[in-house]
Every structure is written in C-alpha cells, then in structure tokens.
Structure 1
Amino acid sequence: MKVVLSTLNAKFIHTSLALRCLKAFSGDRFDIEIAEYTIKDPVMNIVSDIYSRKPDVVGFSCYIWNIEETITVINMLRKIMPEIKIILGGPEVSYDMDYWMERVQEVDFIVVGEGEETFHHLLTEIEGDGKYHMVFGVTYRKQREDRVEVLINPPRPKLNLNELPSPHRFKEDIPHLGSRVVYFETSRGCPFSCQFCLSSIEVGVRYYDMERTKADILYLIEKGAKLIKFVDRTFNIKRDYALEIFEFLIKNHQGCVFQFEITADIMRPEVLDYLAEHAPPGIFRFEIGVQSTNDSTNEAVQRRQNWMKLVRTVMKVKNSQKIDQHLDLIAGLPLENYDTFRGTFNDVFELRPEELQLGFLKMLRGTGLRREADKWGYIYMDRSPYEMLGNDLMPFGDIVRIKRVEDVLEKYWNAHRMDHTLLYLVDRVFPSPFDFFQAFGDFWERSGWQKIGHQLEDLYSRLWAFLESLPRSGKLAVGSLPVLEEDAQKQSFTFDEVLAIAGSRLDSDVVLGLMKYDYFLNHNYKPRKTWWEFTMDKSVWSGWMRRLAERPADVSPEFAALKFGEKELHKHAVIEKLPFDLATFLSTGEVVRERHTLLAVLYALEAGSSKPKPRPFTLSIEVEQEALQS
C-alpha cells in the first residue's frame, strides 16, 4: 500500500517534523513518501505531483496557516482519484472533528492528537479488515443503511517518547539540511494553562532520553544543519535538562544556530550566568512570549508571569551580547484596551529586543478562550486563522490602527534598517515608542504606501517625509503638555498632541545626520546613490578626500593603519558632512554643534572576510576650521 504524507508549509525553507515522526514510526511496515509544498505553490502543481506518486492513501498535516489551501487540494484530489483514502491530522483538525467531517466531505479519517501510533494502527486497518472502531484517536465515517455516520473514537493514551524512533535520520533529508530549518523536540507538553494556547490543553511535560537527544542533534550538525529550532513549548522548564543541552550545544555547535522558546521569568540565574560566560556569540536565539504586561489580562487568561523577573532575564541576556532575543506580544487579549496595550508595547520596547513581534489574538479551536468568547464579547473570523475582529474593550477600529503599528514595526525596527535613528525618535522626539510607530503607521496608510513596494531608499525617504510633515510651532512651554513627566510613556495623548510634541522636539539636523549614518551602515558595498540630495561642492569633497589620505592619523590610529591612498578612498569610501559632533552624540547622547563631523565610511574587505562591510570613521571638525577649509 503506497502512502504519501504531505503538508503545505508556510515557506520553502520550513520542514514538517510531524510528517517525519509518522514516517519514522510506520516506514518499516508501509511504503511511505513525504511530499512537502508551500501555501504559495499553484494548487494544480501540488495535485499533479501527488497524482504522479500514485498513492493509495494520502495524509495531510493541518494548521491554521494551511488548512484552507489544503482543503482546495483535497477537493481536486477526490475528483481525479475517487478511490484514494484521505486522512487529516494536526492541531487544526484535532478539535471540532464533527465540523471538519461535515465541511470537508472528501475526508475519510481524522487522526486526533499525537499521531504516530494512531496513524500506524489506522493504516493497518485500511490495508486489512477495516475495523476502524478499534483505532483509538481516530474520527471516521461509517456507512449505515440510510446514511453515513461520523464516529469519534476515544483518545489514545499518551505515548512513551523513548519508544519512538528518531524522525531525523532519513537519507533523503541530508542534501537539504543546510538550506532549510530543522525542527526538533526534546519534550512534549506544557506546564502552563494560558487559555489562548493549544498547549494548555495537554497536562504535564514528557521528555525524550537525553543521550538519544544528543545523538540526534550531533547527527544533524555533522550532516550539515545550519539552523535547528526547538519546538518545546517551554524549553527551560526543567533547569538541569536545559542546562545540559546548552552545554552540549556550546561544545558541539560547529557554527549551527539554535532557537528556543523560553519562559523568561523562570530562567534560573545560574543558567544565565553560564550562558553569559560560555555561549559563543550568535549561536543561540531566544523566543520569549510576553503577550501582555497588564496583570488583569494575564489573570483573565490564566497566565502566570513575573514581570520583574522577566525583565531581569531579558536584560541579563541582552547585556551579555551573546544571544538575540525575539519577544512576542498579542493584541486583543481580554481586559486589554487600546491604552493598556500601548502601555504593554512601551514596557516591552523599553527592553530593546532584537525583534518585537506584534501579533493579534487567534481564537484557536480547542482553547478555553474560544469557548468563553461570549464572556468577553469577542467577534472573530469564522475561518482560519480565526483572528479576533474586536471585543468589549477593543473595537475593530482599534485593531486596524494597531495593525499599522505592526506594519512599520516590521519594516523598520525588526529589519534593523536604521536603529540609531529610531532610538533617537522614540527616546527624544515622540512621547513613547508606541506613539512614534502609530503616528508613522497612520501617515504611511494615508500616503497609500501600503499598496506599493519599497526599496531601502524608499524607507528612508518616506520616514523623512513623515518627519517633515510634523507641525513646527516652536518648543512647547514646560507644563503645556504632560510630556516632560517621568511617566509620559504610560500616559495617553490625542493624535494632535503626539504630533505637536514630536514637532516641538524634533532636531532636523540630528535626525537627518543619523539617517545618513544608518543608510551608509546598511550597505555591504559602496552605495551607488543616496536618498538625499548630496550638496557638498565637488572641490570641497576632493579636498576632504585628499586630507583623509594625507593625514589619516587625524581620524584615528585604526584609520591610519589601513594606509588607504586618495585613489583607494575614491573607490571604496563615501563621505558626508554633518552639522554636529556625531562621535560625541553616539557615546554620550549630547548634541554638540560647536564641532561638526566628517563621516567617512569605508567598504573594503577585512582579514578573514569574504565580502566588504561598512566601517565608519569620524573626523571632528571645529566650525572655524570648517569655514577655512571651505
């Protein structure tokens, strides 16, 4: 019996751990092929490929991001292969099985929950006597005299993880390990009961044997894996287990990168100390679900979170400069309105995570929050991804506005295209980070830029257009708005107040200088054009180039050590004059206008590097000297 296991991944680089677990368990008994596609692939191509494999049984792993596309594939498959047996599994179909069997009439079976043993038993009955009532964890159709009945069997007991074969040893995966993401689990289950999350449904945590886990990881690394994502819901729940794996990865990483989901407020100080001392920079990434800093919201969704301990962990990791952190927020949770979410956003942005993901509540099937949707007045999408459209405290209009925040947050902060500029704007110009992203997001929407593409230069010119649109009514008098108080980030301002505060605080010379600095740093090769009009006279520009070549020690010993002549500088360097002392600003935050800056950025290979990268140097210029030079 030929079996095809399939799924539609979100991107080509992703791989399905679930399919490999099923094949590892049943591959010795049945002829099983894995066929992975993406949600962007043409449906005809997917169906044609599955058809060419001539399966007797095809199984699909289903999630909120692929269920609708999967249904389209199933509809077509049934028409061209009427005898095929179609099986669904995965978190999206493991709840409300009656609904799915009714909606997708082409489906023969649904495997509910953990699938390895259930799927294997089901295949034996499909090939054998068809005693489906004996297969725990399966929903199926039974033909009665006058109707077809949907039957739901009792769930299967939890598996002993140490009896499961490894899903990581397939030879056909080896050529692709270096170019795709490898998903890896060391445990199943979650100790917490957050009511918006499917993981809260399974009680308890089970672990794989440590030596087997190490052996699988080492195998993947030696076969060329470059990125391994651990899918454990709370990787650090068991301190000794997590610490032992961290130690193992540090000793054996060979350049591979590892990503973990951790719960920051339970991270033990001794583990943090060990990572700060021993972890090589760049091999670990932490994903931390904050979701909300509003205590009443966390209580409403049965989420335990100690904010002070979370901050301690995030800052200690950040200060070690060893590990990138990805912090998650969820807009639309119970008892969170627009203003309190603004506070949550500002609380988390204050930690300066390398990435801040702003997501929107999904009312997932099987979760407690979906069952209690009426209690909070939720309205949400009927079909996947079941995103909330509003509730008693956060109407749809607020959701739309926050989505504009998400848009510019992704384009600017998470992409790290102008970090110096953004930190200046959120710290010194706008009342709070949220107010900046909201005001800019609203401007972006009004300008119609969400309908068109963008290149790097566009992102800079559009931010500058927004800043130039701010009202310039002079400096605000102290006390005219509550902007100078220490708790300004916690206060709410009207849209006009935000713009007035920002316009009164904006120093155009500084922000333009920082934008130019960031722009140069965002290129690995000398940029062919700038997004601003280059105004330095050619003779002055040549004069500065000559001085840099003749007196490099005026810049720094590091610059002088490069021994670049004037010809090499013309080829590999860009220069720009800024009307304040950039080096002083970057080191102390002080704006000194008595000294200007000649910013020189070199794009040249360093020893051991395979491609150029930007290397900035600054020459501080007294204003009188600059006038003489001109």
Structure 2
Amino acid sequence: MKVVLVAVNSKYIHSNLAVRYLKAYTKDLDYNCHTMEFSINDREERIVEEILYEKPNIIGFSCYIWNIEFVKKVSTLIKLIDSNIEIIYGGPETSYNPIEFLTENIGEYLIEGEGEDTYRELINFKINIEVNGDNNNCENIKGLYYKSKEGIIYGGNRPLMDMNNIVFPYEAEDDLKNKIVYYEASRGCPFNCKYCLSSTTHGVRFLNIDRVLKELQYFIDKKVKLVKFVDRTFNCNKTFANAIWSYLIENGENTCFHFEVSADLFSSESINILSKAPSGMFQFEVGVQTTNNEILRNINRTIEFSTIKEKVLELNKLKNIKQHLDLIAGLPGEDFNSFRKSFNEVYEISPEELQLGFLKLLKGSQMREESEKWGMVYSPYPPYEILKTKNISYDELIILKKIEHMVDKYLNSGKFYTILNFFKKSNKFKDIFEFYYELSKFYDGKGYFRRSIASVDYYSLFVEFNDFIKAGEKELLLDIIRYEYFSYNNTKWIPDFLRIEMSKAEERNIKEYIMNKNSIDNINKISVFKFNHSIQSFIECGEIKKTLNYIAFINNPIKERIFIQESELKVQ
C-alpha cells in the first residue's frame, strides 16, 4: 500500500509540518509513505500529474484557508482520472464542519484536529485489510469521519495527545537549504482571543526541554537560515523560553529563529538573556492587534497597550532583535479613526516591520459566532475576510488595504528607512498615517495598484510625490534616494534621475584612497557616488547639512558603506 501525503504551501520557500509529522509518526508501519510539497502558484494539472506518477493507493491533503479551493480542484481531477484512489483530508480548514465538507466533496476520510494518532490507526486499519483481508469498518477510530453506505460515520472525539509522543519530523537527508523551516516546541495557547482557533482548546502542552535543545541543534548543524517556531505564545512559560534562548545564544551560530511572543510576559531575566544574543539571531512577532483597550476587551485580550509598548521599547534598546508588530483591521467595535490611532501609536515605537492584517472569521472561532452582534459581513469564501462591520465600512477597509500595501513595500522591506524618515520629519502631515494614506492615493493615481512596476519606479515615485505635495527640499530627497537605492540595488547601473557627474580621475582618486585606508585589494569591488548633502548626518542625528561628500559602496556580502568628506581628500 502506498500513501502520498500532499502539502500545498502558500509559497515555495515554506515547508509543511503536518505531512512530515504523519509520515514520521508511522515510519515503523509496513507501508510505503511519500510526502510531496507544492505551492499554490503551481498549476493544478502539473500537481495532479506528479502525484499520479507515484501510483498511490491513498492520498492525504493538508488543508488550510489559503489552499482549500486549490486542494478541492486537485482532488476532483484525481478522482476523475482514477476513482479507485482514496482521499484523506485533514487540517484546520476541514476540522470544524467535517460532515458538511465530506458530503459536498469527493473523498472518503477526514481527520479532525490533531492527526497523528488518528492517522496511525487508519493506516493500521488499511494494512490489516491488505494483509489479512479484514472486512471490519473503521467506526471505532476516534477523530475520524468517513463515508459509508449509511452516510458519514464519526468515530468520536479524540483526547489531545502527549506532546512527547510526537516524532521529530525532519530526517538527516532532508535538504532544507533556502527553506523556511517550521518547528513547534508547544501546542496550545494560554489566551482566549475570539478570532483565533487556538482559543478553542485550553491549556498549553510542552515538549521535554532536553529533546527541544537536541532537535534545534539539528537545524543549526544543517545551517538552516530561518527556523520559525509555530508556538502560539512561545514565552508563556518563562523558564522554558529562557532555557531555549540561552542555548541558542550559546550554540546558534548563523541560524535565525522566529518566535511569536506576548510582550507583557517578558521578565527582567528574559531581557537580560536576550541582551546577549548576536544581532540577527532572533525575530519576535508581537500581536498588538489594536491599542484601543476597549476593543481589546471585545476580543478577550486582557493585556493593555501601555504594557506592550514598555516591553517593545525595552527590547528596542538592545538593538539586536528584529521586532514585527501586528495590527488587525475590522475588529469588533473599532472604527476607522480608532484604527488610525492604533497605527500611529504602534508606528511610534519603531518596529522593523508593521503588519496590517484584516480580520478573518475562521470556522469554529468565537468571533464568527458573534458576527451578527457586531454587524460583521465577511466573505463566505476562504480566507473568510471581513468586508464591513457596523463600525467600519467597506470603502474604509479598502483604504486600509492600500495603506497596507505601502507599509509592506516601503517599511517592511527595510530598504526605504531614510526616505521614510525624510517625509516623517516634514511638517506636511499631521501624523504618519496621513503620510501613508496620501502616498497610497498618489500610487493609486499612477495606476500602480493595477500593474507591475520596475524596482526603480518604487524610488522615482517619491520624487514625483514630493513635487506634488512639497514636503521637503528636492535635492536633499534625491541624495537620500540615491543613498537608499545604491545600498540595496546594483551599483553598476545608474538611473538617469539619480546621476551626478563625476570625472574618471576624481572617481579613481577616491577609490585608491579607500583601498589604502580600508585594505581592499580589488578596485572593482568599489562603487563611488557623489552627494551634495551629508547623508551620515541626516541618518545619525537628523541634521540637514549641505556639503560635498562621497559614499563608497563595497560590493561584498554585507554591501559595506564608507562615508568620505571632501575635506578628508584634501588632507590626503
């Protein structure tokens, strides 16, 4: 018997824990199990072809809001080609309306909730049929729904499993290069947020700490670039979190680790441990959702924004941890102006990334049950995103979506900080929200939301935008754009609007000066550009200083920048 477990990920670089868990949990059983991972950007026909090439008897699909429609199409095509292949569904998108889902779709089985034990018992059942010719049905398998002549049969609720029974899902031969690798050290969440499915189960279960440290060493030895913990609130057990952070600081080398954390749970001991982390080793995702304490209470969150702010600023002072803060638009009771206030307050604490999400009314969530109370209208199609509420209109949510695009492109990419500061320091906007709002309107007016644009257009747009709103001195802005552009793009090609002429002799003189002073052995690694303002002064203290200077960009892995004042060259 051959089973193919299929994951359709949202991006190619993602990996899927679920199918790996199921395979690992049954690796001692006498059957052939193969996992396959695709992305929603693949063609359905290609996926069908590759799956059927494996000649499976059974196919299992891992189902989420981002892939469920894709999975249903692939399943239908497979059944049309070979009706003898049996199909198993599992995952959060099928666990909260299993009878309806199995009734309306092709396929024989659906696994509810945690799948490891249910899947193992189902495979054992299938092996027994194959080996012994048993004719029994599988009605006693807890957590399983299946089709029979009598209709959909349910084996009953399955208790949550002991976390330490889970089998580590990665193997020595796995190629994890250039992948975002997912890992969980705990399941469950101590909080009860109405919009989250984690609130439907109570309590948090942890892996044995010694086992966790051993498994994390596997990723370090594999030189994985990014390990993303899927734990809902990683630091809810401070002793557990501190032990893991301490180990990674001591042994983590070049791997980056991403955690979802609750800022209010950071103790002074945790901050002290984290202060010793190498820069870039840790990324924290902090769910703020809103700074309006009344709205927080509406979603069962007891933490106040003042506490989050205090801890985020404390971590900011360490200057070694990247922080990603989340807001959610469309929360119960929150209007446009309240969201605007939240945006401004979160932006002011300077997160490296600010994510504007939009409320999704997931199947099985308390928020979906309360939707009428708050006048919520949401899409009936995955991902069930909010369309409007009695407090915020559809048109206002569209405005926020366009602002979200601007924030994601310009703030979250990390390539436009100095340009953004230029506009933030101007007196043209009453708050930072207004800046992003006006930028999104200008961007929309250019037609950029409706078509792809070249990377250089993302920079040149600011010149036109500044000409339109008169936020600051154009020549200073051009210098700042020049600096940002060459910090993150090819320095061999210069867009016309960023050119400042420099003689060959002048350029060579500066390059030789840099080589002598910085022990650089190859002149071709150096690119030099002339500036009319001191970018260094603007970055370090916000000072606008008009003076001739140069910046050299060294084409090495970190793209080093060297600032040279004209006075230095005269002293030479």
User: Under TM normalisation by the shorter chain, which class is it?
Assistant: over 0.9
Measured at CA, do residues 621 and 222 of structure 1 come closer, stay the same or move farther in structure 2, by a change above 3 Å?
A: closer
Which letter does structure 2 place at the counterpart of 1:7? A
Contact 1:184/1:231 (8 A) holds in 2: yes
Residue 150 (structure 1) aligns with: 152
Instruction: Using the TM superposition, give the Cα deviation of residue 616 of structure 1 relative to its aligned residue in structure 2, in angstroms.
Output: 3.3
**5 Å matches for 1:3-82?**
3-29=3-29, 30-82=31-83
Q: Would the alpha carbon gap of residues 559 and 332 (structure 1) be closer, same or farther in structure 2, given more than 3 Å must change? A: farther
More divergent stretch after superposition (84-93 vs 448-457): 448-457
CA drift of 1:428 comes to 2.6
Q: Distance in 1 between matches of 2:495 and 2:482?
A: 9
For residues 70 and 54 of structure 1, what CA distance do their matches in structure 2 show? 18
Which residue of structure 1 aligns with residue 561 of structure 2?
A: 615
From the superposition, tell whether residues 33 and 391 of structure 1 become closer, same or farther in structure 2 (CA, over 3 Å).
same
Q: 1:208 maps to which residue?
A: 207
Secondary structure of the equivalent of 2:368? Answer: helix
3-state SS, counterpart of residue 373 of structure 2: helix
CA change 1:74–1:464 in 2 (3 A) is same
Q: What is the rounded CA distance, in whole Å, between the counterparts of 2:163 and 2:148 in structure 1?
A: 32
Within 5 Å, give how 1:537-576 maps onto structure 2.
Answer: 541=503, 544-545=506-507, 548=510, 561-562=517-518, 568=523, 572-576=526-530
The structural deviation recorded for 1:560 is 6.3
Counterpart for residue 599 of structure 1: 550
CA-to-aligned-CA distance 1:121-174 (integer Å, 9 cap, x gap) = 122334344432211111222213xxxx22334210111122232222x34xx3
The 1:458–1:154 alpha-carbon spacing in structure 2 relative to 1, beyond 3 Å, is same
Q: How far apart, in 1, do the equivalents of 2:48 and 2:180 lie?
A: 25
Counterpart of 1:335 (choices 311, 333, 336) is 333
Larger radius of gyration: 1
Displacement, 1:548? 4.3
User: Which residue pairs with 2:293 in the alignment?
Assistant: 295
* Residue aligning to 2:265: 266
Do the aligned residues in 1 keep the contact of 2:5 with 2:34 (CA within 8 Å)? yes
1:519 paired residue among 479, 485, 493: 485
Deviation, structure 1 residue 545: 4.2
Cα deviation code 1:439-479 (max 9, x no counterpart) = 11111112111222233311111121122112xxxxxxxxx
**Shift in Å, 1:335:** 1.3
The answer to whether the 8 A contact 2:344-2:433 is kept is yes
Q: CA deviation at 1:581?
A: 4.3
Question: Distance between the aligned counterparts of 1:99 and 1:439, measured in 2?
Answer: 46
Question: C-alpha distance in 1, partners of 2:212/2:305?
Answer: 32
Deviation, structure 1 residue 348: 1.1
| Aligned counterpart, 1:484 | none
Aligned to 1:478: none
TM-score when scaled to structure 1?
0.84
In 1: Cα distance, 2:468 partner to 2:40 partner: 40
Residue 419 in structure 1 maps to residue 417 in structure 2: yes
Query: Does structure 2 conserve the Cα–Cα contact (< 8 Å) formed by 1:581 and 1:620?
Result: no
Instruction: Confirm or deny that 1:590 pairs with 2:556.
Output: no
Structure 1 segments unaligned to the other structure (5+ residues): 471-502, 553-557, 606-610
Cα 1:255–1:572, aligned 2, differ >3 Å: closer, same or farther? closer
Deviations 1:24-77 (A, max 9, x none): 222211321111111111111111122121222111110001101000001011
Match of 2:352?
A: 354
User: Post-superposition shift, 1:597?
Assistant: 2.8
1:508 aligned onto 2:514 = no
Query: CA offsets, 1:469-498, max 9 Å, x none?
Result: 12xxxxxxxxxxxxxxxxxxxxxxxxxxxx
Query: Residues 327 and 142 of structure 1: is their aligned pair in 2 closer, same or farther, counting only changes over 3 Å?
Result: same
Matched residue type, 1:448: G
* 1:476 match: none
Asked whether the equivalents of residues 176 and 222 of structure 2 are also in contact (C-alpha less than 8 Å), the reply is: yes
Q: Which amino acid aligns with 2:462?
A: L
| Aligned AA (1:509) | E
User: Separation in 2 of the partners of 1:31 and 1:76?
Assistant: 23
Q: 1:604 and 1:259, CA in 2 relative to 1: closer, same or farther beyond 3 A?
A: closer
Taking structure 1 as reference, are residues 266 and 427 closer, same or farther at Cα in structure 2, changes over 3 Å only?
farther
- Which amino acid counterpart does residue 586 of structure 1 have in structure 2? I
Which secondary structure state, in structure 2, belongs to the residue aligned with residue 140 of structure 1?
strand
Shift of 1:325: 1.3
Bigger drift between 23-32 and 256-265 goes to 23-32
Aligned residue pairs, count: 562
Q: Give the secondary-structure state (helix, strand or coil) at the position aligned to 1:431.
A: coil
Shift of 1:427: 3.4
Q: Tell me, what secondary structure is at the counterpart of 2:236?
A: coil
Q: Structure 1 residues 117, 452: CA separation in 2 closer, same or farther (over 3 Å shift)?
A: same
User: How far does residue 309 in structure 1 lie from its aligned partner after superposition?
Assistant: 2.3
Q: Which stretch shifts more, 182-191 or 461-470?
A: 461-470
CA contact (8 A) 1:461 1:531 kept: no
Q: Could you say if the C-alpha distance between residues 349 and 130 of structure 1 is closer, same or farther in structure 2, counting changes exceeding 3 Å?
A: farther
Q: Which runs of 5+ in 2 are unaligned?
A: none
SS at 1:91 equivalent: coil
TM score, norm. by length of structure 2: 0.92
2:143 aligns with one of 137, 147, 156: 137
What is the CA–CA distance in structure 2 between the aligned matches of 1:119 and 1:282, rounded to whole Å? 39
**Cα displacement (A) at 1:600:** 2.7
Partner SS state of residue 586, structure 1: helix
Q: Distance between the aligned counterparts of 1:612 and 1:282, measured in 2?
A: 13
Identical-pair percentage: 33
Q: 8 Å contact 1:582–1:597 — kept in the other structure?
A: no
